[in-house]
Chains A and B, each alone.
Chain A
């Protein structure tokens, strides 16, 4: 296990470096000048040149990359162009909020997906299966920004049960005052992973049930409940892998939902950075999100290796 862990950790180094390079390139290759958004329209060429030098935009790209990456290693991602605050603290703040939302949505989506998937797979071709499968298809098909707005209309506007936007005032606490802000975005966000997990687990259960060992379990006298427990443990590693990837998507791809609900997370931050052409903020956010993905995959691999004994030796 230790060797496996060390090996997987070493693999992440080149991956992280490539990710940093790619996200730097992407930002710089995309059109648009970051200074245009902060300079007044009638700014002199002299002022523009000074600012350009101050931010280092006049240097060759490899040099800029080198400075950025060495600073980043030291924990300095530069300052935001728009508001001058350090990018790192901005991003970390947003990461906390995103993590909270993504985890809440993941747990909800995974739990529901496992439940629907297991039930649908076990009672294949019955009305239970059809119901669960329909819910899953609806889950992956509904555009979630639309679903978010519909939920807001029903629960915030009509019923006035839950707040529509923001994350509450002050820092996060696990009290109703804050949790009520989490419910609608989390439910909206959970719908897609729920659908994907349901479909994966349903197919998985079908596969597992067609194995000889299920007959063997019945042949040794186990009741259906115990057989089901065996099926769940066999389905778990794959389901967790799928959920890990989904969590990655949720962390990076929540721009729409965070924007709809004005949830102060990385997606919301990214959205702001893009529209303000705030290059340091944009680079920093993308880098942190990419790192998230890498370490999440690592965590998923380790978790799988713990549950499924066949992986460790590979």
Chain B
């Protein structure tokens, strides 16, 4: 099977008053019907990567390198009209804060219909019919009445459902989700995740789901890419990453959550802070915070070490498991 999204050595840097190298050599593959989670903390470049897939970054200040192929087309080579033909039709996006991502002065129905009119050349009336159909599909109660509602008249969860209805109105092949549940409270969060999972299976979509929440990733993802300082630290299936993380950052991330922790025991944290991204990385970006770091880590960038099919970690110690590494470390200090 050929991947529907294929990103190679993506670099994104912003040049304003000061330069920020937000994404530094990211490679990703997403298969049709697959849900990939981009997991990482704030500033790890996950949202920027997502926006780069649709070229939604400010043109003037952004430099993009590498290659992005979506549904067989080179996104970086597209003209503006080709780009807007693709957006919403082939690739759609849902946002973190639905209250801000919907236009406040248009009704929900108008906003969904607008997309249908744009991509399928239908009339506004047909567009409204599709909007109603979509609102029912995302299970908004009394959908007919909500068609003429403005975003501010709906609750947060309802707005996110409407946003999903809008994004899926033209049956895209790929859905990009930028932390769509972060702004919602926990019970609504799980409802939205279940809905997304269900729609993804029904419509056989690929999803790239950005989140900083491992618990959310566990609910929805098939595969996960852990990002750190604009690089993919480790990729693999969800199970591989949760059970046997190989990159020290992924290991640290897992042991700092309540997943699989013992009650009464303190959670471990990763010391230090992520690096400044004002220059592109010359060495391993995690080296200053890594307890397993050796001299060569600071000397050059580690390669992405392949650990099987579609599994890799950008660490020179990637061949060894966490327990093995800790054992070696303890033997040395003893």
Q: Does B118 contact A (CB under 8 A)?
A: yes
On chain A, the residues within 8 Å of B102 by CB distance are 213, 216
Question: B-facing mask of A105-140, CB < 8 A → 1, else 0?
Answer: 000000000000000000000000000000000000
Identity of the chain A residue whose Cβ is nearest the Cβ of B97 in the assembled complex: A212
Our pick among B93, B101, B105 for the contact of A308 (Cβ within 8 Å) is: B105
Knowing A230-B106, A308-B105, A310-B150, the reply to whether A219 touches B100 (Cβ < 8 A) is: no
Q: Does B228 contact A (CB under 8 A)?
A: no
A310 CB to nearest chain B CB (Å): 5
Q: Does B115 contact A (CB under 8 A)?
A: yes
Q: Does B6 contact A (CB under 8 A)?
A: no
On chain A, the residues within 8 Å of B86 by CB distance are 221
B87 near A219 with CB under 8 A, answer yes
On chain B, the residues within 8 Å of A307 by CB distance are 105
In angstroms, Cα B171 to Cα A221, docked, is: 13
B92 CB to nearest chain A CB (Å): 7
A122 CB to nearest chain B CB (Å): 13
On chain B, the residues within 8 Å of A234 by CB distance are 103-105
Q: Does B250 contact A (CB under 8 A)?
A: no
In angstroms, Cα B150 to Cα A233, docked, is: 14
A220 near B115 with CB under 8 A, answer yes
Knowing A213-B101, A310-B150, the reply to whether A219 touches B54 (Cβ < 8 A) is: yes
Interface magnitude class on chain A? 20 to 34
In angstroms, Cα B21 to Cα A275, docked, is: 70
Our pick among A219, A220, A224, A233 for the contact of B106 (Cβ within 8 Å) is: A233
Q: Does A222 contact B (CB under 8 A)?
A: yes
B88 near A223 with CB under 8 A, answer no
Within 8 A of A (CB), among B135-154: 150, 152-153
Question: A-facing mask of B301-314, CB < 8 A → 1, else 0?
Answer: 00000000000000
Within 8 A of B (CB), among A203-254: 211-213, 215-224, 226, 230, 233-234, 237
On chain A, the residues within 8 Å of B244 by CB distance are none
Our pick among A215, A221, A233 for the contact of B89 (Cβ within 8 Å) is: A221
On chain A, the residues within 8 Å of B104 by CB distance are 213, 234, 308, 310
Q: Does A14 contact B (CB under 8 A)?
A: no
Which residues of B approach A to under 8 Å, CB–CB? Answer: 51, 54, 56, 80-81, 84-89, 92-93, 95-97, 100-106, 114-115, 118-119, 150, 152-153, 163, 166-167, 170
Which residues of A approach B to under 8 Å, CB–CB? Answer: 211-213, 215-224, 226, 230, 233-234, 237, 307-310, 313
